[in-house]
């Protein structure tokens, strides 16, 4: 199996905007769910209620980059930016070696 491209990062919402940010990111996951090369796109939360985590696995970085051109994705990114408490930090890029569901 050829290594896949992974990206893991978070966005921190302004107080009171957590649910709205989560919903926008869940909409983004719906938009990319059928994108070519997308293996995984998960939105999750941990202990900090303002922080929303995004975990992605793609066939390669080019497929990830192309997903930004899917109609509606950039619009959702713009709406999400208005809800952030801080500028997003660059996500951690990962080389995905394998695992359940990845072939």
| 51-85 confidence digits (pLDDT tens) | 999 999 999 999 999 999 999 999 999 999 999 99
Average pLDDT for residues 41-55, to the nearest whole number?
95
Tokens linked to 86:
């801080």
pLDDT at 102: 75
* pLDDT band (50, 70, 90) for residue 103: low
Predicted model pTM: 0.89
pLDDT exceeds 80 at position 101 = no
The CATH code for residues 4-96 is 3.30.70.100
* pLDDT band for position 98 (cuts 50, 70, 90): confident
CA nearest neighbour of 24 among 67, 70, 79, 90: 79
Residue 22 sits at φ, ψ, to 5 deg, of -60, -45
């Amino acid at each position: 199996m050829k290594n896949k491209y992974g990206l893991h990062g978070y966005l921190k919402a302004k107080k009171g905007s957590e649910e709205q940010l989560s919903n926008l990111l869940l909409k983004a996951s719906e938009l990319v769910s059928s994108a070519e090369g997308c293996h995984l796109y998960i939105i999750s939360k941990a202990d900090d209620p303002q922080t929303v985590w995004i975990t992605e696995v793609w066939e390669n970085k080019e497929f990830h980059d192309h997903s930004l051109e899917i109609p509606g994705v950039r619009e959702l990114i713009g709406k999400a930016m208005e809800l952030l408490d801080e500028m997003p930090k660059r996500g951690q890029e990962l080389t995905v070696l394998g695992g359940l569901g990845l072939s």
